[in-house]
Amino acid sequence: SGPNGRIVKADVEAALAKGPAPKAAPAPQPAAAAPAPAAAPAPKAPAAPITAPHQAVPHSTMRKVIARRLSESKATIPHFYVTMDIELDALLKLRGQLNAASPKDGPGAFKLSVNDLVIKAAAVTLRRIPKVNASWTDDATILYDDVDISVAVSISDGLITPIIRKADQKGLAAISNEMKDLAARAKAGKLKPEEFQGGGFSISNMGMYGVSDFSAIINPPQAGILAVSAGTQRPVVKDGALAIATVMTCTLSVDHRIVDGALAAEWMQAFKGIVEQPLSLML
């Protein structure tokens, strides 16, 4: 009521005398929209048709198990790799001397392979550095009391890993004869489950195929696998001079959740030292 529509004291007093204005009715809310139907999962793109002449070979149960376990291993285990070149000449010399001392036949006869000595060397290394002889679980790291080594053996239907139990406590002849027996029965499909299930560490040796270098996939739930390649003559430098030595390349694959890089390197360094000075295997 003031000049030019201004609010003055009389307007305020009159408004107070009338009391509060009635509340306005709430505006009607719009009806809730009906929930949208869940989107159907996008269909997988069909595999490209195979048009070339071919033969479809159904997967065996073993091949399916191998595919599942190796896929899970690569998908769930953070692999870490350490590679070293290792000289074999001293090991080959010791092998030749031991084989020459073996009886020609009978229960005490043996014929050592390089793989037999590698198994023993890995077992001794695992005893010295036991944190690699392990498995990961969500609650704890499992450290195995025994050194049980799984050794990869190729069979007609895939791959199987018979186990040398307590390999660090066995002599070379015992390991050699046991490995030959396990490999023969593996190829014949006559292994018992306890002979290939378990183990704390694996070895995959492809040296007999002339493979120069490779990395192996960890065999879960183990924490490590050693890939062993062929021993070949290579130029090396010794005491500042060029020489020829028999050298094999080995790669240790480890589960990085358990085995750190420094620990993997320490293991490989110890393994290299044992192989290059193999008389310690006789102790």
Q: Which residues are catalytic?
A: 256
Residue 212 in contact with residue 227, Cβ under 8 Å?
Answer: no
201-205 vs 163-164, strand pairing mode: unpaired
Euclidean distance between CA atoms 1 and 19, whole angstroms: 19
Closest CA to 137 of 259, 256, 221, 254: 221
What's the CA gap between 164 and 157, in Å, rounded? 22
Determine the straight-line distance between the first and last CA of the chain, rounded to whole angstroms: 114
Task: Determine phi and psi for 171, rounding to 5 degrees.
Answer: -75, 165
Q: What is the pairing mode between strands 224-228 and 241-255?
A: antiparallel
